[in-house]
Structure 1
Amino acid sequence: MTTSSVNLTPGGASAATEGPRYRSLLAAARGLVRCDAAALLRLDGDVLRPLAVDGLSDETMGRLFPVASHPRFARLLESERGLRFAQDCGLPDPYDGLVAGQPGILPVHDCMGAPLRLRGAVWGLLTLDALEAGTFEAVGPAQLDALVALVETGIEAAHTIQEMEARAMREQAVAQALRSGGGAARELLGSSPAMKQLCSEIDTVAVSDLTVLVLGETGVGKDLVAQRLHARSRRSDEPLVQVNCAALPEALADSELFGHKRGAFTGAVQDRSGKFEIADGGTLFLDEVGELPLTVQAKLLRVLQSGEVQRPGSDRMLKVDVRVIAATNRDLPAAIAQGRFRADLYHRLSVYPLVVPPLRERGRDVVALAGGFLEENQHRLGARNLRLSPASKAALLAHGWPGNVRELEHVISRASLRAFREQRRGARWTAIEPHHLALDAAAAGSSATLPSMPPAPAPAGSQASLAGAGGGTLREATEAFQRAWLAEALARHRGHVANAAREAGIDRSNFHRTLRKLGVPRPDGAP
C-alpha cells in the first residue's frame, strides 16, 4: 500500500497494538524530564492526531488539532530543535481545559516541545507541560536533544515493527487469494486468425497500466486473458488477485473489495484488508463485473478515479497502486440503458476493450484445445494415451459450442471417463469415439442453465413463452427458459423464496438478484 512517508500506521496495524507502544515511549520520555502532562502527536496532513497522552484527559485522544488553528503547535513544527515558550507568551494553549484536574484556562505554567522526524520527514510533535512555572529552566539543549533522540528511536522501531506486521498480513492475504483461485495454470491456446489477433492486442496493452475490459461469451476463457495480461506486464512479479463479482453477496461486497475496520459492522472482530489492498502493486481482476450492485459500482468508480480506498468503518484514505482488469459476458450498454450499470463506470473500465472470440469462430483450435484437455484427463485417470479418433475430430469441428471452451472441457472429461471404462486391458492407447463425446445429448441440454426440476404443471402460457423464444438468440432463449422456470418454482412453493432458492440450488441473495434481473414477479400474497 502506498502511504505518506510520515504515516506511522501502514496496512492493518490497529490501535490495540500501536497504543501500548506509544504509551511506553511517552513514559520513557517522562522519566527523563519531570512534567505534569505530556503528549505524542502525529502529523497527518494538516492536522495533529494524539497517539498517546499522560496527564491530559481522555477527551484529548478523540480530538484533532488543525495546525493552522493552533499557533503554538505551528511554531514547534517550524522549529529546528524545539523550544520553550515564555511564561507570558500570549499564544493560546491548545490544552486549555484538557489538563487533568484543570478544567479551565491554565494558570501561568511551563510549556515545551520539539518536532519529531522519521526518515528525514517531520513525523509529529512531543509536548511537555508543567503547572509550576520555571520547571523546565534546568532542561538545556543537550538534554532536549537526548530526549528527542530517544523518542525518535522508539518511533523508528515501532514503524519497523508495524511495517513487518503489515507485510506479513498482506503476504498471508495474497497467499489466501491465490489459493482461492485454485486449479492448474493454463495458457491461451490456438493458432486461428482470431486468436492471433487477440494475442497481439493483449501483448500491445499488457505493457501499459491502462484499465482493460475483457468481453466475450461465457466459457471463452476471459480469465486466461487476464492472466496473460498480468504475466506480460511490468507488474508480473506482484500478485494477480481475482474477484468473482457474481458470487459476492451484496451485503459483503464492500468488505470484500475495500476491507473493513474492526467494529464497522456486526461480526467485524478485526481489521481486514480488501482485495484492492491485497493487489497493491499488482493486478486486480474483476470477473463478471456486470453483476456488481449499483451501490458498489459507485464506490468502485471512486477508487478508479482517485486511486484511494476507504475501508468501511474508517475515516482514513489508503493510497493503492492497482492495475484493474474487468471481464463480463453481459451487454453493458444495454444494462446502462436499463439502469442496471453506471455509464461513467463503464467508460472507466473500457479504456482498452478486448473481445475474446467464441470457440465456433476459431476453426481447428477446438482440436488443439481438446488435446490439452485429453492430456490432463489422461494423468488424472491413469489412462494410457487417450486419443481422438478421426470421426471424433470431425464431430468436434462440426459442433456449435454454445458453452465455448468450458463446454469443450466438460465434454472431453466425460468422454475420457467413458472411454477409459471401456478400454481393453493392456491396450497401448484408448480411442475417443463420437459416442463417448455424446454431443447430441450435450446440444439438447445446452440451454438449461438451472437445475432440472421435477415434473409439475406449468402456469398458463409458460410453454408458449418457451416456444416463442426459439426465434431469438441463444441468450434470449436461455433467459426465457430461466424466467419460466423461476416463475414455476415460485408458484410451486406459493411464492416462498427460500424454498424456491433451495430447490434451484443457489443461495437466497443470488436467487433474489436473478428474479430482479429477469423481471420475474412474486405471486400476490407471497410471504
Structure 2
Amino acid sequence: MTTHPLLQSIIPLIADIARELPSAERYRRLLEALRVLLPCDAAALLRLEEGWLVPLAVDGLSSDTLGRRFRVEEHPRFAALLEAEGPLRFPADSPLPDPYDGLVEGHRGHLPVHDCVGCAVRLDDRPWGLLTLDDLAPDRFSSLDLAVLQSFGSLAAATVSVAARIEQLHSRVEHESLRAEGYRLAAAPRARTLIGRSAAMRQLQKEIGLVAGSELPVLIQGETGVGKELVAEALHAGSTRAARPMISLNCAALPETLVESELFGHVKGAFTGALGERPGKFELADGGTLFLDEVGELALPVQAKLLRVLQSGQLQRLGSDREHRVDVRLIAASNRNLADEVRAGRLRADFYHRLSVYPLLVPPLRERGRDVLLLAGFFLEENRSRLGLGGLRLDAEAQAALLAHDWPGNVRELEHLLGRSVLKALGRHPQRPRILSLGAEDLDLPGGRSAARAAAAPALVAAADAPSAAERPSLRDAVAHLERKLVTEALARHGFNRSAAARDLGLDRANLARLARRLGVALADAPR
C-alpha cells in the first residue's frame, strides 16, 4: 500500500511537534518537507511583526535574506497574501514586484521570480505570518493543488503554536517583560535589534538573556561601532523595567563643566546660565534604566560623585542642599579597556568595580563570520525602502569582498559603506533598474576585487614567484576554491554529519547539499 505524498511529508513533522526542538530547527524542517512535496527554487517562512515581515527560515534564498525586514505596505504581494482567505498564486505576468527578485540562490545572473504562490499562517483567526514558494520558471505552480499548500499552512500554524507554547512555559517572566516592551515599542519609533547567528553572537545573546532580568549593573565593552547601544537596549527590553524609560547619555559628547548638571540636574542660579531648575538624567530615569556611553571619559571628581549615587541611590542637584532618592539600574559602555584605565590612574578602582558587576564583551565584526551577510541584508533592505527600489542585492563577488574585509569600523562601517555603495551603483545606470545588484567594484573596500581574491584563495597564490596575469585564478575560481575548502573542513570537523556541518556554515541542510554538488564535494557517505 503506497502512502500519499502529502501524508508522507506530514508524518515526520507531526512527530516533531511532540519533540523539544529549537524553533529555528522546527521551521527549517517544515520548509525542507514542503520543498520535497512541492519542488521549487525557494521557500520561506516569515513572521508578521507590527507591519513588518521578518524571515524566520528560508530554503533556496541567499543568506542575507535572513537579515532583511520587509515592510508590508511596501510589498503588495505580501499584503495580498496576508489579506487573502486562502492560498494565492500570482500570474507569471503579474505587474506586482516580487520581494525575492534576485535573491534566489544557485542561479547565475539576477533573475526575477516568475512564479509565486503563498498563504497566510493564521493563529486564532489572525494572520501570524506567511508561507511562500517561488520559482524562476513561469509555470512551476500551474498544476498545483492549492489545498496541499493550505494543509502545510495549517501545519505551519500548529508548529508555530507549539514553539510559542514551549517558549512560554520555559520563561513566563520573560514573556511578560517582552509584552511590556511591545507596548512601549507600539508608541515609539521602531528600534533596531541585534542581528547575528555566529557562535560569538549566540553567546552574547545568551548572556544578555541571563543578566537582563536582574538588577545588576552591566558594563558593555567593545570596539567603536560594534553596537554597544543595541546591547544596552536589549538589556533594558528584557528587564522588569522595560515599561519605564531608558535614558542615555554620551559622556564623551559633553564638556566636563556640564556633565554634573546633565547627570544630577541643577537649581536656578547654580552656575552662569542656570535660569531655572532642571532635573538630571538620573531623575529622568527613575524607575527605569540609565545608559552611560563612553563612561571612561568621565573626570575623576565626577566619578566620585557618581559612585555615591550608585551606592546610596541619593543625589543632590547642583546648587541644592536637598537630596533626591532615585531607583535606577545602571548600564555603562566603553570602547576602552577600563581595567587598563584603572592601572593608568584615569579611572577609580572602586568606580570600576561598581560598574563591572556583570561585564559583557561585544565581539568585533571580523570575529562574527557570515553575520556580515545578515547585517548587509538588513542594511540593504533599509536602503531599498528609502530609495524606493524594487530589489537590492549583492552579487557573489561583493559577498566575497565583504567576507574578506577586516572591518576596523565594525557594523557602523558596514552600514555607511553599503549606503554609499548603493548610491554609486545607482549612478552607473542611466535608467533606474528594477533590481539593483552591487558588485565588488561598487564597494569602497581597499583593493576592491583584488583584495577579495587574495583573501578568498590564499592557497592558490604562488609562494615564490609572482604569477603572470594568465596564471592568476579568476575571482569565481578563487571563491569556489574557498567554498570547497570550507565545506570540506566543516564536514570533516563534524564527522561528515550534514546537519551539524550546515549549522556550522550558517546554511540550511538542503542548501549545503546543493552547494556540495556544485563544488564537487562528495556527500554520499555523510549522515543526514
Higher relative contact order (CA 8 A, sep 6+): 2
